[in-house]
Chain A
Amino acid sequence: MSTWIPESASNLAASVDNITLFVTIVSVFFFVLISAVLVGFAIKYRRKSEDQETAYITHNSLIETIWTIIPAILLMVIFAWGWIAFKELRNPPAEAIEVNVVAKQWLWEFEYFTGKKSLNELFVQQNKPVRLIMRSDDVIHSFFVPQFRVKQDILPGGYQQLWFTPTKVGTFDLLCAEYCGSGHSQMLAKVNVLSPEAFARWEKGDELEEGAVVAASSISPVERGKDLYSQRGCLACHSIDGKEVIGPTFKNLYGKTEILQDGSSVLVDENYLRESIYEPEAKMVKGYPPTMPSFKGILSEDEVTALIEYIKTLK
């Protein structure tokens, strides 16, 4: 990771970085010039004696005109350049592949044209333009991938679009950039850029092969559950160390007796956990907000089992 600008991994990054570089050169030049003159004057004309000579200069039209015109020209160049690059960011090519994105407190859902769905993980193909059609279920969110240099607010009550062509195979952070409440800083997801071969495999594949994207070898249910816990966004609301985040902590959860909103109690066992993942509002624990979405159609039975196995280990 370079210290000032992140790795570039989309077709749009180069033009954004070029203008950023230009503005940086101009800024550093003027900052060094201004600071050097300021410090230079401060040293040269420091008061050495009480009756030190000073010059009586009130203004100078020529120099004032020059230092008005030069910044004005530079600023207009920066404006025009920024606008041209912005047009590119805003206008996707016609052949771009469409992905539907739903942002909600506090997770990301992706739906591909094949009907495939994924949660908190976006799968795209290297060197293929993608157009995201995004909507929000609740408040304003913002789709931000620093390595792609793209960002777009997602508002409820309409669609917003954003496009890019990923150029590098790899996994990149997707961050929510518009403040959206208590889970905002955990509304993170991954963008997986796959090679054409891997993408074709993923498109055809079932759940097991999807797992192959992350790790080729088969792993134990507990390890798989642990991965799902972070990949599927459980961690945004459920801690594993006993801290109260939004929902109940997973620590010591299994085998515990919880008091429900209607005053009745329930033993937390495999069946209760499964029901609460698929139908969160069926048996609500007292004192927690009804914010959890249903994971029906998102987490397979296998995945729920793996998650439960993982929760059991959190003691």
Chain B
Amino acid sequence: MANGVMTQTQYIPYLAQKGLKSWILTTDHKRIGILYLVTISFFFMIGGLTALGMRYELMTPELDFFRSTTEYNVAFTLHGSLMVFFFIVPGIAASFGNFLLPLMIGARDVAFPRINLLSFWIYLAGTAILLFALMQPADTGWTFYTPYSIQTGAKVIMITLGVFVLGFSSILTGMNFIVTIHKLRAPGMTWSRLPLFIWASYATAILQLLATPVVGITLLLLIAERAFDIGFFDPAKGGDPILFQNFFWFYSHPAVYIMIIPAFGIISEIIPVFARKPIFGYKAIAYSSFAIAIISFFVWMHHMFVSGISETAAAIFSFLTMLVAIPTAIKVFNWIATLYKGSIEFHSSMLYALSFIVLFTIGGLTGVYLGALAIDVHLHDTYFIVAHMHYVMIGGTVMGFFGGLHFWYQKWFGKVFNELTAKAAWFLVFVGFNVTFFPQFFMGFQGMPRRYATYPAEYISYHAISTYGSWILGLGILIMTVNLLLPLMKKSNYPKSSNPYGSLSLEWQVPSPPPHENFDKIPTVTDWTYSYGKNRSEANAKK
């Protein structure tokens, strides 16, 4: 599909340069991608360890691991904040987005490489501010609801500032990606040939640009409340705590889609390659990302059905929530249809992609329970929510993230990992995840509320199973991590081919790892990214 990609003689891999300065001052999109990957992985590990601590505590109804309920509350606040704001919001969009976007569209870099580096530094500044604010230590939960967050003395203004600064990094990255997609596509890379990961990145970038300013508005109102005593959120000053929830979810609900849409993109890249089939319903998948992005701005109140909002508001938001499910269902059907009459190879990344479909389906279907008003009243703020959210975020986003790591690993690092170990780790992750979170659906139906450090004894068996599951999941992630880190320390494990899976996408047409500016000569694209098996089918037609 592409001509004149490489002249081997001048090949200098982008990882060749060594030294701290070559990293912190780099404007190479691939290196910036690695900077994000390392940072978010670090926070993912810390967030994961706090989760293991919480699960260990919950093995028995009484307090036994943490010294006080407050310590448990601090742990879940830290877990939620790290995972949401430090890991999963910037996660795939910034790390994979940076590495893949220019490569996939046939560009040498993003449109504004220096702003791209600035985004990373702003991201670090945001994490520093937020970490400082959480050192209090905060025990508010990652939702920081007023008036508890005011009462407990959490640094709400600092926290909001941190989230806003993090969001500003997203705004710059989003803007950079949009301009790059519009201006730097290689000749022949038309909109209808664009890889679906690029479509997903585009939809995500729009969400980042439009949703983040709301955090800025909230910040200004919080400062005005504190400085000029104007009651916005604090009932003691005549404010309305519901208003805070509106602002919080007006940002945080679109943010949920900032977290998941890039994973949709990754799945849409992995499945066609290992099924050797064109993606089924290309246009439907591309447009449904946009449909989800747009509707996601108008569903935020479904987090507030029992908070005392009016019946009319509840009905409108329940209706709009149901609408989001339609494009989501379409994507699932399309991915499965892609497998039909294919030639499926079960590479570790494909196993993650297939388990994504199964787990995300559970996450999506349980979302329908919560969108239906009368059912949500019973399930709201119970473990059903905890399970649903983790099925979407781990079963969805993290499975996509792991799948992407295994798929592009050798392109990114120029090394190969042990495939058998990778499959074993996948098995543990898949089993461990389900053992941890599936019992929580039942626990939620039974009425077990979330954010309980201690709990009535009747829920003990569900909690115990869930804790055992967390150990399996933790072990799986540990093995996966070691398996991915080991090859990087060895002077062996080099890939045999630059395109071992036979992908038609541009990033696989350059060596692994790619040279500094990706392409010696900008390639000319002559066909659709997903035309797997097209030549053969044309040849058969001629016979």
Tell me the A residues contacting B by CB distance below 8 Å.
Answer: 1, 3-6, 15-16, 19-20, 23, 26-27, 30-31, 34-35, 37-38, 41-42, 45-47, 52-60, 63-64, 67-68, 71-72, 75-76, 78-79, 81-90, 138-140, 142, 144, 146-147, 149-153, 155-158, 160, 173, 175-186, 188, 243-245
Contacts A42-B344, A58-B278, A144-B447; A155 near B242 (Cβ below 8 A) = yes
Contact of A86 among B358, B373, B451 (CB under 8 A): B373
For chain B residues 314-348, which have a beta carbon within 8 Å of chain A? 314-315, 318-319, 322-323, 325-326, 329-330, 332-334, 336-337, 339-346
Contacts A151-B306, A177-B382, A185-B452; A58 near B361 (Cβ below 8 A) = no
Contacts A59-B282, A156-B241, A179-B451; A86 near B314 (Cβ below 8 A) = yes
Residues 26-69 of chain B, each 1 if its beta carbon lies under 8 Å from chain A, else 0? 00000000000000000000000000000000000001000111
Any chain A CB within 8 A of the CB of B277? yes
Contacts A156-B241, A179-B145; A71 near B308 (Cβ below 8 A) = no
Chain B residue at minimum C-beta to C-beta distance from A236: B69
Contact of B326 among A41, A71, A82, A138 (CB under 8 A): A71
In the complex, identify which listed stretch (B121-129, B363-371, B474-482) lies at the interface while the others stay far away: B363-371
In the bound assembly, the distance between CA atoms of A85 and B334 in angstroms comes to 34
Cβ-defined contact, A153 with B307, below 8 A: yes
Contact of B281 among A15, A41, A64, A177 (CB under 8 A): A64
For chain B residues 90-128, which have a beta carbon within 8 Å of chain A? none
With a cutoff of 8 Å between Cβ atoms, the chain B residues found around residue A82 in the complex are 318, 371-376
Cβ-defined contact, B368 with A78, below 8 A: yes
With a cutoff of 8 Å between Cβ atoms, the chain A residues found around residue B235 in the complex are 155-158
Cβ-defined contact, A45 with B275, below 8 A: yes
Chain B residue at minimum C-beta to C-beta distance from A90: B311
Any chain A CB within 8 A of the CB of B456? yes
In the bound assembly, the distance between CA atoms of A16 and B332 in angstroms comes to 29
Q: A4-B445, A72-B326, A78-B322 are in contact. List 12 more A-B contacts (CB 8 A).
A: A45-B341, A54-B341, A56-B278, A56-B536, A57-B278, A64-B334, A79-B371, A139-B147, A155-B308, A157-B240, A179-B73, A185-B449
Looking at chain B's contact residues, the main secondary structure is helix
Any chain A CB within 8 A of the CB of B148? yes
Interface size of B by Cβ–Cβ distance < 8 Å? 97
Cβ-defined contact, A83 with B377, below 8 A: no
Chain A residue at minimum C-beta to C-beta distance from B314: A86
Cβ-defined contact, B377 with A151, below 8 A: yes
Cβ-defined contact, A182 with B369, below 8 A: no
Q: Closest CB of chain A to B275's CB: distance in Å? A: 7
Chain A residue at minimum C-beta to C-beta distance from B365: A27
Which residue among A27, A142, A153, A183 has the maximum number of chain B CB atoms within 10 Å of its CB? A153
In the bound assembly, the distance between CA atoms of A243 and B67 in angstroms comes to 8
Cβ-defined contact, B277 with A30, below 8 A: no
Contacts A16-B378, A184-B452; A57 near B277 (Cβ below 8 A) = yes
Contacts A140-B241, A185-B454, A186-B454; A151 near B318 (Cβ below 8 A) = no
With a cutoff of 8 Å between Cβ atoms, the chain B residues found around residue A75 in the complex are 322-323, 325-326, 368
For chain B residues 238-275, which have a beta carbon within 8 Å of chain A? 238, 240-242, 275
